A = this chain, B = another copy of it.
Amino acid sequence: MHILIIGGAGMVGRKLLARLARDGVLHGRGITHVTVHDVVAGEPPAGAPFQTSVVVSDLSLPGEATKLVGARPDVIFHLAAIVSGEAEADFEKGYRINFDGTRELFEAIRRVGGGYCPRLVFTSSIAVYGAPFPEAIGDEFFHTPLTSYGTQKAIGELLLSDYSRRGFFDGVGIRLPTICVRPGKPNKAASGFFSNIIREPLAGKEAILPVDEEVRHWHASPRSAVNFLVHAAGLKAEQLGTRRNLSMPGLSVTVGEQIEALRRVAGAAVVQRIRREPDPTIIRIVAGWPRNFDPRRALSLGFKAESSFEEIIRVHIADELGGKFVA
């Protein structure tokens, strides 16, 4: 089978590709070819049991999506997006990449015709929800995004449902929790500290905590994110029905609970590397974010996430640090 990963050079895309290379199969079918698309060149995985093609282009430009789907991939993972902060800072770029890019892809698939109907897995976001919301957001709560990014994801979900209902493709949209522990360097995303306060101390470095410990948020590990994508690719259309966009499971914890878990996993010396430095801007932004979900439908469809923050930390130590940290 041929798999297309759009946004394949990003953090989740790279991990998905590595997982496919390790498995060699997807839901029992051998993988013969993976096309990795992004605006920068993705990295073919070493020793993969399939051919990897790397394509660099701007999906939002006319004709680019058509080229990508011309080879009729069996499964398409659409992970490409510019992030929330950038979509908010540059209105036109956000709509062009996150909205037109997604629509161009969906239209290109529709125009292939001849009975072509691939499984398409789209990563949406909990940013489709905007405060005020219930303490735990249920599957039937409405979408009132408070960012352009969230608006673009919510529109992508609506298009995915309609194109699937029409039989142009067989779509599944998955709303990812905040990915934690995100590997790499600290970035300026307002959500960055949720990962920074774990990753940096484990690497022997100081991390800044800009909010207080009562802040509650919704997390899943990068490994879980990849599991969600792979699981979504195998769902049967009849399990999905007409409601094809799902809030993924995750773990709702406070920052204080994150820190306690770090203490239990790595010890007090590691926790000492977290420095409190309240940031009113980040405090205000984070106050409008979802704290918890009640993702019954996804759970009933077999999606699984971590059940403790210790587990999330241990996944990070295993997958990113080769099992070791700076005590």
Contact = CB atoms under 8 A, between A and B. Distances in A.
Interface of A: 91, 130, 139-146, 148, 151, 154-155, 158-159, 161-162, 165-166, 242-243
A161 B166 contact: no
13 contacts: A91-B166, A139-B142, A140-B141, A142-B142, A142-B143, A143-B158, A144-B161, A144-B242, A145-B162, A146-B165, A146-B242, A151-B162, A158-B158
Contacts of A158: 143, 145, 151, 154-155, 158
Contacts of A165: 146
Contacts of A143: 142-143, 158
B151 A159 contact: yes
Contacts of A242: 130, 144, 146
Contacts of A243: 144
A142 B141 contact: yes
A167 to B, nearest CB: 11
A280 to B, nearest CB: 21
Nearest to A110: B91
Contacts of A141: 140, 142
A161 B91 CA distance: 14
Given A141-B142, A145-B162, A151-B159, 16 more contacts: A91-B166, A139-B142, A140-B141, A143-B143, A143-B158, A144-B161, A144-B243, A145-B158, A145-B161, A146-B242, A151-B158, A151-B161, A154-B158, A155-B155, A155-B158, A158-B158
